[in-house]
Amino acid sequence: MTTARDLRDASTKVLRDCVIHGYPIDPDSLAGWVYRGTSLGLPDVVAKLTWKTFQKTFHRDPSTGKLIGWNVRLEQDGIDAPSRPKTKRGRPVTEWNYEVISPEGVPMPEGFDRGLIIDYSRAANPPGVVRFMKDPLVALSEGSADELLGVSYAVVAGRTMETPTYFTLEREHPIDYVPHDHPRGAASISPLSLTRVERGWAEELFSAIVPTGGDEGLLAFMSADRETFWRCFDESTAPLVRAGLRPMVHTLTFLPLVSGFRKPFFALSEDERERFLQHASKSRAYFVRQSLVTLKTLACFAYFDDPRVRARYDATPPPGAP
Amino acid sequence: MSRLVTTDGREVRARHSIETDVVIVGSGPAGATVARSLSLAGARVIVLEEGNEARPEDFAASGVRAMASLYRDMGTSIAFGNVSMPYLQGRVVGGTSVVNGAISWQLPKAILDDWAAADPALADALPYDTVAAAEARIEERLHVHATKERIAGPKNLLLARGAEALGVAHRPIRRNVRGCIGEGRCLQGCPHGNKLSMDLTFLPDAVAHGARIFGGMRVDRVMTEKDRAVGVSGITAGGAPFEVRARRAVVLAASAIQTPCILRRSGLTHGPVGDGLSAHPGVSITGRFDESVKSWRGATQGHEVTGYRGEGLKLEALGFDVSILASRVPGVGRDFARRLAELDHYAVWGAALRAEGRGRVRPGPSRPIVSYSLTKQDVLKARRAVRVLGDVMLAAGATEVYPGVPGFDPVVTTRARMAAFEESGSLAASDYAMSMTHMFGTAKMGSDRGTSVVRPDFRHHVVDRLYVADSSVFPGNLGVNPQIAIMALADVCAARITRVD
Which residues from A are below 8 Å from B433, CB to CB? 293
The pLDDT assigned to A156 comes to: 84
B298 to chain A, minimum CA–CA distance in Å?
Answer: 12
Burial class for B255, CB neighbours closer than 10 Å (0-12, 13-18, 19+): buried
B63, B332, B366 member nearest A301 (Cβ): B63
Interface TM-score (ipTM) > 0.85:
yes
pLDDT at B445 over 70: yes
Q: What is the mean pLDDT of chain A?
A: 88
The confidence score (pLDDT) of residue A140 equals: 95
**Which residues does chain B have within 8 Å of residue A322's beta carbon, measured at their own beta carbons?**
181, 192
Cβ–Cβ < 8 Å for B241, B15: yes
pLDDT of residue B494: 98
Better-scored residue on pLDDT, B241 or B362: B362
Residue A241 has pLDDT above 80, yes or no: yes
**Does B293 score more than 90 pLDDT?**
yes
- Residue B137, pLDDT above cutoff 60: yes
Q: How far is A295 from chain B (nearest CA, A)?
A: 10
Q: Look at B323 and A293 and tell me if their CB atoms are within 8 Å.
A: no
**pLDDT for the residue numbered A191:** 66
Query: What are the CA-CA distances from residue B121 to residues A161, B445, B446 (Å)?
Result: 71, 10, 7
Distance from CA of A149 to the nearest CA of B (A): 26
Angle, helix A239-254 to helix A286-303, in steps of 10 degrees = 110
Confidence at residue A32, expressed as pLDDT on a 0 to 100 scale = 85
Is the distance from CB of B188 to CB of B344 less than 8 angstroms? no
Average pLDDT on B469-481 reads: 97
Work out how many CB contacts closer than 8 A connect A with B: 128
Which of A116-125, A224-233, A272-281 has the largest mean confidence? A272-281
**Amino acid A204: pLDDT:** 96
Q: Do B340 and A210 touch (CB under 8 A)?
A: yes
Determine, for residues B321 and A237 on separate chains, whether the beta-carbon distance falls below 8 Å.
Answer: no
The pLDDT value recorded for residue A62 is 66
pLDDT at B349 exceeding the cut of 60:
yes
| Contact flag B183-A239 (C-beta cutoff 8 Å) | no
Residue A176 pLDDT: 82
Q: Pick A232's closest partner by Cβ from B64, B340, B430.
A: B64
The verdict on a CB contact (< 8 Å) between A305 and B336 is: no
Cβ of A310 and B340 within 8 Å? no
Asked if residue A184 has pLDDT above 90, the reply is no
Mean pLDDT along residues B270-289 = 97
CATH number corresponding to B147-186+277-436 = 3.30.560.10
Tell if the CB–CB gap between B337 and A301 is shorter than 8 Å.
no
Residue B437 has pLDDT above 50, yes or no: yes
CB contact under 8 A, A212 and B323: no
- Every domain range in chain A assigned CATH 2.40.128: 5-174
pLDDT exceeds 80 at position A260? yes
Helix/strand/coil for B40: helix
Closest in A217, A228, A237 to B76, CB measured: A237
Contacts of B406 in chain A (CB under 8 A): 289
Architecture of domain B5-54+92-100+105-141+197-272+443-500: 3-Layer(bba) Sandwich (3.50)
Decide which of B429 and A47 is more confident: B429
A313 to B323: CB separation less than 8 angstroms, yes or no:
no
Say yes or no to pLDDT of B352 above 90: yes
Q: What is the mean pLDDT of residues B200-225?
A: 97
pLDDT digits (tens, 9 = 90+) for B52-73: 999 887 788 889 999 999 999 9
Can you tell me the mean pLDDT for B21-28?
A: 98
Q: Mind listing the pLDDT tens digit for each residue in B312-321?
A: 999 999 999 9
Chain A nearest-CA residue for B294: A313
Output the pLDDT for position A190.
56
Average pLDDT over residues B126-138: 97
- What residues does each domain of chain B span? 5-54+92-100+105-141+197-272+443-500, 147-186+277-436
Is B343–A241 a contact, with Cβ atoms under 8 angstroms apart? Answer: no
Question: What 3 state SS string does chain A have?
Answer: CCCCHHHCCCCHHHHHHHHHCCECCCHHHHCCEEEEEEEECCCHHHHHHCCCEEEEEEEECCCCCCEEEEEEEECCCCCCCCCCECEECCEECEEEEEEEECCCCCCCCCCCCCCEEEEHHHCCCCCCHHHHEEEEEEEEECCEEEEEEEEEEEEECCEEEEEEEEEEEEEEEECCCCCCCCHHHHHHCCCCCCCHHHHHHHHHHHHHHCCCCCCCCCCCHHHCCCHHHHHHHHHHCCHHHHHHHHHHHHHHHHHHHHCCCCCCHHHCCHHHHHHHHHHHHCCCCHHHHHHHHHHHHHHHHHHCCCHHHHHHCCCCCCCCCC
User: What is the CATH code of the structural domain delimited by A5-174?
Assistant: 2.40.128
Residue A186 has pLDDT above 60, yes or no: no
Look at residue A183 and tell me whether its pLDDT is greater than 50.
no
What pLDDT does residue A63 have?
Answer: 64
Mean pLDDT across chain B:
96
Q: Strands, E, within B253-312: which ranges? A: 278-289, 303-305
What is the value of pTM for the model shown?
0.79
Task: Confirm if B105 and B210 have CB atoms less than 8 A apart.
Answer: no
Q: Is the pLDDT of residue B1 over 80?
A: no
Cβ of A310 within 8 Å of Cβ of B61? The answer is yes
- The predicted-structure confidence for B141-181, as pLDDT tens digits, reads as follows 999 999 999 999 999 999 999 999 999 999 999 999 999 99
Specify the pLDDT at position A125: 77
Q: Answer yes or no: are the C-beta atoms of B370 and B78 closer than 8 Å.
A: yes
Q: What is the pLDDT confidence band of residue A181, given thresholds at 50, 70 and 90?
A: low
- Residue B192 forms contact with A (CB below 8 Å): yes
Alpha carbon of B74: minimum distance to chain A alpha carbons (Å): 5
